[in-house]
């Protein structure tokens, strides 16, 4: 068949120039992701590293004997890492510290989405109610706090590594979707923790949570 005028149809691919509007929009989406997702994840990851160090120190402290000046500093750093404002105000007393750790954990998890996060949220509440007013309550909350900090570090590392991959540089927001699929299957209660003797355990194992 021929076109009008008797010319055969062209078999060459049509070359379409890159739409500058589309390119600009893609750049803006990527920049928004960097500002709203990557940078907060990196900040949380840095805070998590300090929190883990302080949490492990707090695990070796007898809350009944009162908080020393050094203990209060460590306690304040733990609370600050979880977004508690004026953390130093709540770091002088073991019971107040415990209450603030619990409050910050349930507040953080309560704002997150996903069936696994919901299950973690409910398990933290149930287990804390069961252990409240016992020496194990603080131990439990510090274990949960450490597991949460380790997950924050893991997320920061994932975002950092994924953002550097050439295959996703054109659509950085896909990293968030990929992470959500990964994290939806994970539970804080299955994060491997290590005791003072170097033995690994999970919250599920230690506190009998299914």
- When pLDDT is averaged across residues 46-67 and rounded to a whole number, the result is 87
pLDDT digits over 160-202, tens only?
999 999 888 888 999 999 998 888 888 999 999 999 889 999 9
The pLDDT of 15-23, averaged and rounded, is 41
pLDDT of residue 135: 83
List phi, psi (to 5°) of 194. Answer: -130, 130
Residue 108 near residue 145 (C-beta atoms within 8 A): no
Q: Across the strands, what pairs with 201?
A: 193
User: Which pLDDT score is estimated for 17?
Assistant: 39
pLDDT at 23 over 60: no
- Calculate helix-pair angle for 173-183, 20-33, nearest 10 degrees: 40
Q: Which of 120, 137, 104, 141 is nearest to 185 (CA)?
A: 120
Q: What is the mean pLDDT of residues 39-67?
A: 88
In this prediction, residue 26 carries a pLDDT of 63
Would you state the structure tokens that stand for residue 46, as one six-digit string? Answer: 């840095």
Judge whether residue 203 has pLDDT over 80: yes
Give the mean model confidence (pLDDT) for residues 73-101.
91
d(CA 40, CA 157): 12
Cross-strand bridge partners of residue 194:
200
Give me 172's structure tokens.
């950085």
- Between 28-37, 98-107, 114-123, 151-160, the lowest mean confidence (pLDDT) is in 114-123
pLDDT of residue 176: 92
pLDDT at 20 over 60: no
Mean pLDDT, the chain, integer: 84
Q: Is the pLDDT of residue 53 over 80?
A: yes
Confidence of residue 122 (pLDDT cuts 50, 70, 90): very high
Higher pLDDT, 30 or 23: 30
Please give the residue that has the higher pLDDT: either 55 or 117.
55
Q: Which two tokens stand for residue 210?
A: 């299914």
Neighbours of 55 (CB within 10 A): 26
Which residue in 155, 142, 152, 128 sits closest to 209, CA to CA? 128
Token pair listed for 86: 């004026």
């Amino acid at each position: 068949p021929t076109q009008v005028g008797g010319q055969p149809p062209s078999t060459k691919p049509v070359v379409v120039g890159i739409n500058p509007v589309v390119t600009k929009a893609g750049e803006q989406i990527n920049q928004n992701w960097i500002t709203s997702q990557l940078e907060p994840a990196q900040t949380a990851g840095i805070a998590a590293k300090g929190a883990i160090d302080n949490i492990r120190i707090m695990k070796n402290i007898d809350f009944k004997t009162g908080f020393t000046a050094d203990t209060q500093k460590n306690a304040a750093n733990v609370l600050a890492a979880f977004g508690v404002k004026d953390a130093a105000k709540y770091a002088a007393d073991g019971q107040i510290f415990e209450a603030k750790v619990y409050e910050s954990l349930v507040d953080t998890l309560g704002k997150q989405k996903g069936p696994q996060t919901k299950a973690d949220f409910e398990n933290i509440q149930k287990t804390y109610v069961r252990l409240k007013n016992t020496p194990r309550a603080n131990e439990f909350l510090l274990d949960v706090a450490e597991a949460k900090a380790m997950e924050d570090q893991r997320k920061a590392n994932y975002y950092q590594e994924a953002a550097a991959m050439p295959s996703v540089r054109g659509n950085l927001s896909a990293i968030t979707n990929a992470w959500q699929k990964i994290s939806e299957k994970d539970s804080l209660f299955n994060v491997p923790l290590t005791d003072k003797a170097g033995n690994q355990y999970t919250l599920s194992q230690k506190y009998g949570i299914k």
